[in-house]
Amino acid sequence: MSKARYVHFQFLPMSLRVLFTMVLLVFGVGYLMAMIQVWESHAGKDGDPMISGKDLMISYSGNPEGTKLESALRGPMADMLPPEKREVIFAWLHNKAPQAEFDAKINPILQEHCIACHNPGANPHLPDLQTFDGVSKVAAADTGMNIATLVRVSHIHLFSITFIFFIVGFIFSHAYVRPPILKCILIATPFVVLITDVASWYLTKIWTGFAWMVIISGAFMGMAFAAMWLISVYQMWFFKVPTEISDNEGRLPSIGA
Ligand code: HEC
């Protein structure tokens, strides 16, 4: 049985090597831009300027601290009530703001410290804190990206990244890598982690720990990209091909990969 054998880069026409190199250069710049974009849209959401698992949890599954009520109480309304009463309100918010607890614990605080200003008679433009409905509007949880947004972002992501890694993997398939299985693993990795990445966006809504899966998937994708990029460019222009290849017109004598 004779398997098709790959042709090493250096036995490809110069025109193809130039084409491959240019495509890789632009993809390299594109990858950097994508990283900056990821940073810009996620970092700092948790208050710490570095990007973290918490930032991604907030982006995908929402922020338990992200209600208008909590930000007001951590900001401009902080001095309207004693700190221990603020904590009671935060605890209630983090507990999904149930009505029973509202009537028992929260309403009395609001009655005492807030409704002097927050009632439609006094200030119609301020949130009405006299009723549970009024309070619910500022206590609604920030649920992160909704499913419609996720679906839109995922289909773009799946199609465009598959395209990029098809091209990068195709170029890289002309490289000499030992053992051959390593070459196959490098080619397969981006597609596998693309699936785990996109799946984790949704799973993060169920369990926020999946945010780490997003980060790990992204890290593996980046490493596979970097490895294929560097090996391809190096072998195209600087590598001295082993004699087993040069003696066989750029093809390996026996192994398919
Ligand atoms: C002295 C009047 C006054 C009191 C008392 C007061 N507020 Fe306010 N509140 C305001 C004003 C004025 C604004 C709008 C300006 C601003 O955001 O600083 C506001 C804004 C808010 C907002 C932001 C609304 C939005 O759309 O983002 C929330 C939430 C809020 N207050 C909650 C409270 C809570 C809870 C209390 C009681 C602990 C309270 N306020 C007590 C006057 C008051």
Summarised one tens digit per residue, pLDDT across range 154-211 is 899 899 999 999 999 999 999 998 888 999 999 999 999 999 999 988 888 788 788 8
Q: How far apart are CA 116 and CA 129, in angstroms?
A: 10
Where is average pLDDT lowest: 52-66, 108-122, 131-145?
Answer: 52-66
Nearest C-alpha to atom 34 of ligand 1 is from which residue?
114
Is any atom of ligand 1 closer than 6 Å to the C-beta of 81? yes
Q: How confident is the model at residue 256 (pLDDT cuts 50, 70, 90)?
A: low
130 Cβ closer than 6 Å to some ligand 1 atom: no
Separation of 142 CA from ligand 1 center, angstroms?
19
* Residue 81 in tokens: 């009530």
What is the rounded CA–CA span in Å between residue 73 and residue 225?
45
Q: Is the CB of 114 under 6 A from ligand 1?
A: yes
Model pTM greater than 0.85? no
Radius of gyration over alpha carbons of the chain, in Å? 28
Q: How far apart are CA 40 and CA 51, in angstroms?
A: 9
Q: How far apart are the CA of 126 and the centre of ligand 1, in A? A: 7
Contact 134, 125 (CB under 8 A): no
- For 11-33, what is the mean pLDDT? 94
Decide if 205 contacts 61 (C-beta within 8 A): yes
- Cβ of 117 closer than 6 Å to ligand 1, yes or no, is yes
Of 33, 63, 48, 55, residue with least CA distance to 214: 55
Task: Using the mean position of ligand 1's atoms as its centre, give its distance from the Cα of residue 54 in Å.
Answer: 28
